[in-house]
Each structure stands twice: as structure tokens, then as C-alpha cells.
Structure 1
Amino acid sequence: MEYYHNPGKDLVITVEGRRYLRHGIRTHFVGVGEDYLSLFRRYVAPVYQPGDCVAVSEKVAALCQGRVVRREEVRVTPLARFLARCVHQTPAGPGMGLPVKMQFALDQEGRGKVLWAALRAGVDKLRGIHGTFYRLLGPEVRGLDGFYGEDIPAYADLGIRIPHQPDRLCDQVYQETGILSYIVDANALGVELLGKAAALPQGAGGLTAVLRDNPAGQEGQCTPFLLIRPAGEIGAG
């Protein structure tokens, strides 16, 4: 088998003395409402073998579930524009610095909760503590992707929410295909485990550690599935 890794990323990573291959499984550009299991059968099953597991981008899982918000569905208010101007942009992108994303937060969590989170975030920033706004508002706000077309033009007017019941989705994949998978939200700031198959023995720490450099990338690489394959102990033949 010929392994593929995205430019600028390593094929092999070492975690706690063990090496792992990260093979990027290239697919077509997945659209809204596609069949998730069909993607596994078409792209993953031909290269999967016992002992492997598959890390899945939260975007492809959410797109298949239709978990999207279209720009025309969001009515951006002056409050959203004001709050968005107060957001510091991170290496992961503008985040809630986009008024349309801030409006999603207001619609999702309510005006009072968002204002409280913004106030707490401002106080914590003075104390050198970052990430309070996203932590207080929870995974739906923290995990909203898209509405940003600089990297992927198709997402300029499309917001992508986090997958619904990701653990259950991974269990369904295992029951139907025998493939052990887990779903992650990975970016320049880190990797968050959103869900995994119950039959997958590894804990969250190990599953995210093999992806600490975000080998799937953030642009249009079309490698939403990463095959993780143990490569043995360091120094083994």
C-alpha cells in the first residue's frame, strides 16, 4: 500500500514511544446530505485492516447529517456586529469575529448568556486567561465552522455545525462496516475529540495525540479520513 500525507505534514508520528502512520484518505469534495456510510465503504474499507482506526473530520460527518446553517437564514443584528469587533482573531481563523457567527451564538444560546460570556471573557483576558467566551457558550458555538471562504470558497456562505450524537454515529459505522472510527475537531489551536466508537479501546488522550499537528490540514486537501496504523515500537525492525 502506498501511503499519502499532506504537504508539510509527517507520515509518521511518535506517541508515548510508539510510531503511528497517518494515511490521508483522499475523497471527492463532500457535499451536504451525502451518505456517510457510503463514504466509508467507498474510500475507507478498501485500505482498512484489523488494528487500524480512522480519525474523521467533524465537517464531513456534519455535512452528511445536513447540520448546516446558510447565510441567508441568519439575520445579523447590530449587537452581533458590535460583539464581533471585540473578538481577537486566532491562528485558527476569525471565529466569532465574523458577525454571522456571532449572530448564530446569540440565536443559539440567547442574548443574556452571550453578553455574560463576553463580559467574563473580557475580565479573564486582563488576567491572561483565554478561551473563556467559547468555554462558557459550549460546543455548539465553539464548534461552528465555515462562513469563511478564504481557504475553502464553498464554505463562504455556509456554516457547519458539530455532528449530532457523534458517539452513536461512530458505533453505527462499526456495526455496519466493522471500521473503528472517531470524530475530531482539529485546527491550529488543538484537537478535540467529539465522539468515538464504544469498541475503540484507546482513550481520548491517545486518539488526539496522534493528530496533534493536524495532519488533515485546514484547506481543500480532501482528506477528511485519516487512517491511523500502528508502526511498532521505536527501533523495531
Structure 2
Amino acid sequence: MTAQANEGKALEVDIDGQRWQRIPIRTHVVVAGEDIIEVVTRYASDVVQPGDVLFVTEKIVAITQGRSYPVSDIQARPLAHTLSKYVTKTSHGIGLGMPETMEMALREVGTPRILFAAAVAAVSKALGRKGDFYRIAGPKARGIDGPTQHTIPPYNTQVVLVPDQPDAVAAEIKAALGDIADVAIVDINDFGGNILGATVPKAGHARLARILSDNPLGQGHQSTPLGVIRPVD
């Protein structure tokens, strides 16, 4: 296989004097009910080499776990409508700035925690500090993906939650690949990324996030929810 970057993305990046390839892997459009282990091994087995890190987007894992919901099926309570109005909309995405995503945050995290996060954020925002809402609400709220026009259908009209047990999923994938490569479940976009689960020690998570910080998989219709990080000799 000849390594090829997605359009508008660089194949290689230099981090701390070491060059790394980020090789995207194209798949079919994955749907709920598919086996994530089978899907990943089908497309990645012929690509990964010893010493690689296979990275898998959190969205594809969550979708196979049935954690993706059509917006039309989500009945947002009045509280979700109210709270969503106070969420700052940014170029990063809709976040919890729509009633349906806020409703899913209330279900995932619990009403008391979301209300506490909102109260703290209201005070800290008045003092000029940002980010307290998502810091207190936690990763399950922060990682909720709302619908965007650039996402592959049908997920351009769905809300996707964070995956369950990402560390365990990463370990299962690594074993299925014959333990020749580490695996990371990642949440990346065009503004950076987070490592949600991995077989790599936590001390290495920050470096992985930096290697992927420009989102080599792309944010639109590339259909590349998998990729390989490989050191360049």
C-alpha cells in the first residue's frame, strides 16, 4: 500500500525532532450493529506494521455501539432548551448549543451535574474565565457530537455520544490484530484532539494528540475513520 494523505492534509508531521506518518484508511460507511472489531481488522490488518499505532475515531466506535441518535428522535425537555441558549457557539462545532445535544448531556451526565456546571460557568464567565462548563460537566458531555452539514450521511442529522469503555475496545482491537501494534480511540477535529482510550501508556497520550492535532483524517466526506501513526526512519 502506498501511503497517501487526505486532500488538504499532510502525510507527515514533525514532533520533537521525530517525523511521523499519519496514514488514513478508507472504509465503508459504518452503521449501528456492526462489529467494531471485525470492521477495524478487515480494513487495517493489511496496513498495520510492528511499531505502529492504529488510531480509531471515537465516532465509529460509538456508532457500532448504538450510541448515535437521529435528532428527530430526541425529545428535548424544556430545561435542555433553556440551557442550550447559553452555550457559546464556536467554529469547533455545535457542541451542546442545541436542545437535542443538551438533552443527551442531561441523560448521560445527570441533571444535577449539568446544572452545577452551568451555575459555575455563569459566574466564571462574568469574571472573564471560560471553559468551566465543559470542565465540570466532564468528558461525556464534552465529547457529544452534534449534527453538521459536512458529516457523512446519515450522521449529518444525528447526535453521537462518546463510546463506552474505550480502553477495553482499544485492547480488543490490539489483540485482534495480533498484538503487533498499539491502538488508540481518539476524538479529533480540525482544532485538535483527545485520546479517549488506548493501549499506549497515559504518559504517551499527549504526544499522540500532538501528532494528530491537525486532524489528518479530515472532517468531512473522506470516509477515513481509521489511520496509522508510523515513525519515519
TM score, norm. by length of structure 2: 0.91
**Counterpart in 1 of 2:43?**
43
Question: What pairs up with 1:70-219 in 2 under 5 angstroms?
Answer: 70-146=70-146, 148-152=147-151, 153-178=153-178, 179-197=181-199, 203-219=204-220
- The alpha carbon displacement at 1:102 in A equals 1.0
What is the CA–CA distance in structure 1 between the aligned matches of 2:232 and 2:172, rounded to whole Å? 27
Alignment: residue pair count: 230
After superposition, the Cα gap between the structure-2 partners of 1:122 and 1:202, relative to the gap in structure 1 and judged at 3 Å, is: closer
Unaligned runs of 5+ in 1: 233-237
Unaligned runs of 5+ in 2: none
1:154-177 per-residue CA deviation (whole Å, 9 max, x = no partner) reads 124422111111111111112222
- The alpha carbon displacement at 1:106 in A equals 2.3
What is the CA–CA distance in structure 1 between the aligned matches of 2:48 and 2:21, rounded to whole Å? 13
Letter in 1 for 2:150: D
1:10 matches 2:10: yes
After superposition, the Cα gap between the structure-2 partners of 1:114 and 1:60, relative to the gap in structure 1 and judged at 3 Å, is: same
Is the 8 Å Cα contact of residues 81 and 99 (structure 1) preserved in structure 2?
Answer: yes
Letter in 1 for 2:195: L
Is the 8 Å Cα contact of residues 96 and 144 (structure 2) preserved in structure 1?
Answer: no
Deviates more, 1:120-129 or 1:206-215: 120-129
What is the CA–CA distance in structure 2 between the aligned matches of 1:188 and 1:122, rounded to whole Å? 28
- The alpha carbon displacement at 1:137 in A equals 1.1
Deviates more, 1:110-119 or 1:23-32: 110-119
**Counterpart in 2 of 1:235?**
none
**Counterpart in 2 of 1:228?**
229
1:83-122 per-residue CA deviation (whole Å, 9 max, x = no partner) reads 2121111121111111101112223333333222112112
Deviates more, 1:187-196 or 1:123-132: 123-132
RMSD across aligned positions (CA): 1.9
2:24 aligned counterpart, secondary structure:
strand
What is the CA–CA distance in structure 1 between the aligned matches of 2:154 and 2:73, rounded to whole Å? 17
**Counterpart in 2 of 1:54?**
54
